[in-house]
Chains A and B, each alone.
Chain A
Amino acid sequence: MGGVLLQDVTKDYGKVRAVKHLSLDVKEQECVVILGPSGAGKTSTLKMIAGLEEVTSGEIYIDGRLANYLQPHERDIAMTFESYALYPHMTVYDNMALPLRSPVHRRPEGDIRKRVLDIGTMLGIDALLDRMPAQLSQGQKQRVGLGRCLVRQPSVFLFDEPLSHVDAKVRHRMRTEIKRIQDELKTTSIYVTHDYLEALALGDRIVVIEQGEVQQIGTPKQIFDEPANEFVQRIVGDPPATLLDARIAVIDGEALLQVRGTSCTLPVPPDMREILLERHNPNVRVAIRPMYVTASLVEGAACQLKGSVYVFERIETKGVLDVRVGEIALLAETSPDFQSRPDQDMWLQVDLDHVRFFDPQTTAAITA
């Protein structure tokens, strides 16, 4: 096993720069998730690591070895694809043994048997080795697909959106299985996805990329709670945070946020007062996650905003209320059976401890 180091890696397709000066240090046994929308450059990055695409500039090291000029099969990596691509006419055992029988990795049959049994036991599929793929559940097929990669004991696993076309029900179960397998094997992994839930669930660290550029590298907690810019703030959370334009004004010594498009003000959180006033720019962007907004049909002492119901949606175990305050729309999380009518008056309370601030020009986070 080993780590993967990317130094200032760039990928051009003709005039299009798909990956821009990407540097990333994936440590041994670590699982790093590359998260971004389609076209962000995540799959290009993975293909360069796998050796399926040439690097335009920069260096890639696998297990401490410069890999730029190595053939894919010399890199000691295994890549799993979205489909498991098991051979339907071969047993689970033969599917798993296949990589060890290939001309490149040829091993004696006795060694192969031992290896397949070891990996099969580890993955909990040792009882299924004589079955055909058609007799397996989706989760079992996923394990066999992984097992086939693992028999080679690669240094690094690469996952390219392995769950993107699986239906929602199965996806959840497979995500759980992959997480569990990673925990058991501790093989260095790089996992590409556009699904923030997969990223939060699976990554030791997450790299958020957009238009070929790194937006933030951090633990799932940092990405969720301390996004470095507006893009990262918006990519995690469903529904995403509401972003508002506001102006900071000091009235009678009290620092207030005047929310544009409304006549409302919110107090500036005390720990943010100094840094926001020192910027000498009264304009800020304010991000508020729906989970930190409480809606109420009656005016309470702690309510800061008054608006009217635009629409209510039940989403599984919660409700999401879209409230229009002046010209802005603010989302509040409620109980799933929250009773409301369109255009009904609604009072909102924002938990100011969880409000995030961004610079309107650079979109970078402003933090205390």
Chain B
Amino acid sequence: MACIVLKDLWKKYGEVEAVKGINLEIEDGEFFSFLGPSGCGKTSTMRMIAGLEQITSGSIWFDGRLVNDVKPADRDVAMAFETYALYPPLTIRQNLAFPLQVRGLAQKTVDEKVKHIAEILRLTEVLDYLPHETSGGHQQRTSLGRCIIRTPNVYLFDEPLSHVDSEARREMRGEIKRLQKTFATTAIWVTHDQLEAIALADRIAVMDSGEFQQVGTAEEIYHHPRNIFVARFIGEPPFNILDCRVVQQDGDLMFRVEGCSYTIPVPQCLREAVADRIGELLQAGIRAMYITPTLTGQAGSHIQATVYVFEDLGERGVLTADLNGDLLRIVTTPDFPGHVGDPVWLTLETSRMQVFDPHTGMNLVQVNHGMGGD
């Protein structure tokens, strides 16, 4: 078990800056996720922590010990990758047992642990097969099993479930989370899938272009995105963004939606942030679950849009509403009765709105959630 600290960490491949001076403190026993699109630097960061990639500059610390020059084997990390890297001449059982045998554990203990891990990862039936005789999903689970079979300083997972089918993926995810919580081993999970990061991690670093866009809990990232990139990257249906100007109307501050006459009262929580931006173009956003649509309403008290499409998805409905050419996504009950072209009136839960500067992309209200030296 270890606490991991990254200080001003850089990685350059020739001229390309893959990781640009990131700072982070991962607590002992924490489940931490690097989340971002491909090429954002998440895998490079993890490989530097593992010791598989040379650091260009900066430092990495395990429990207060500088590990920049410590070999991967001496860092006591266990890794599972998207690619399986199994030993082809060894059976699934022998592959799973390998990390324990090299550490000289008694055969009886090894057998027990292999049996337990095989049950958790549903590999019992294929234990005596060679890797190439099993499916890609089995091989990936074996790779994962080889990682979690022992208790290292830290688990490093790089998209370890990408080749597992969706139902099994959900089950494995649950088992890994349970295992991590039970043994409180520090874990780092690299993924491009926001669902996976939100489901597993205590905290998430959203990465793009080699930099942290935000570090925080799922709750913080979901409800208070630090910038437009994070707002758009997290959430399904996606975050709604409207171009607005702040205006004064009868002494009250209002957002006037660009291109139409609708105004939305500026909520208390945003007044201070927009007070000196009257007349400026801003981007106001709100998540799909904080808009309530009705088919009967009055012009004036609601925003009027038209039904672009309604989708009944069984457990919930998703309404896409057309507001002067901008499409807004709204989560509804599955039985919402709107049809294409129907007028629809929208009520926004304004206290849930976020406002961004269109030039910098930054949220006008910055909450400090401990950006690790940022």
Contacts and interface: CB of A to CB of B under 8 A. Distances in A.
Contact of B181 (A238, A315, A317, A342): A342
A221 B312 contact: yes
A2 B174 CA distance: 48
B309 A313 contact: no
Interface stretch (B127-135, B140-148, B231-239): B231-239
Interface string A85-108: 000000000000000000000000
B284 interface: no
A169 interface: yes
Interface in B317-345: 318, 320, 327, 329, 331, 340
Q: Which of B182, B199, B315 has the most CB of A within 10 A?
A: B315
Interface residues of B, number: 35
Interface residues of A, number: 34
Contact of A175 (B182, B200, B311, B315): B311
A317 B174 contact: no
Q: Which of A179, A184, A311 has the most CB of B within 10 A?
A: A311
B236 A313 contact: no
Interface in A295-348: 310-311, 313-317, 322, 336-337, 342
A316 B312 contact: no
B311 A314 contact: no
Given A175-B311, A180-B308, A200-B312, A313 B199 contact: yes
Contacts of B181: 311, 342
B177 interface: yes
Nearest to B182: A342
Contacts of A236: 314
Interface in B166-203: 166-167, 170, 173-175, 177-178, 181-182, 193, 195, 198-200
B111 interface: no
B314 A224 contact: yes
Given A172-B238, A310-B174, A201 B199 contact: no
B260 interface: no
A79 B197 CA distance: 37
Contacts of A342: 178, 181-182
Nearest to B174: A311
Contacts of A201: 311-313, 318
A368 interface: no
Given A180-B340, A322-B174, A313 B200 contact: yes
Contacts of A169: 236, 238
Nearest to A194: B166
A220 B177 contact: no
B219 interface: yes
A240 interface: yes
A183 B238 CA distance: 23
A342 B166 CA distance: 24
Contacts of A310: 174, 178
B242 interface: no
Contacts of B308: 176, 180
A168 B192 CA distance: 11
A240 B167 contact: yes
A183 B312 contact: no
Nearest to A341: B181
Interface in B205-250: 218-219, 235-238
B371 interface: no
Nearest to B311: A201
Given A173-B238, A316-B235, A342-B182, 16 more contacts: A169-B238, A172-B329, A176-B311, A176-B320, A179-B311, A196-B314, A201-B311, A220-B314, A238-B166, A238-B170, A291-B315, A315-B198, A316-B195, A316-B236, A336-B219, A342-B181
15 contacts: A168-B195, A172-B237, A172-B238, A173-B238, A180-B309, A180-B320, A196-B314, A200-B312, A224-B314, A291-B315, A311-B174, A313-B173, A316-B235, A317-B289, A317-B331
Interface of B: 166-167, 170, 173-175, 177-178, 181-182, 193, 195, 198-200, 218-219, 235-238, 289, 308-309, 311-315, 318, 320, 327, 329, 331, 340
Please give me the 5 A-B residue pairs with the lowest Cβ-Cβ distance, nearest first. Answer: A201-B311, A224-B314, A313-B199, A311-B178, A311-B174
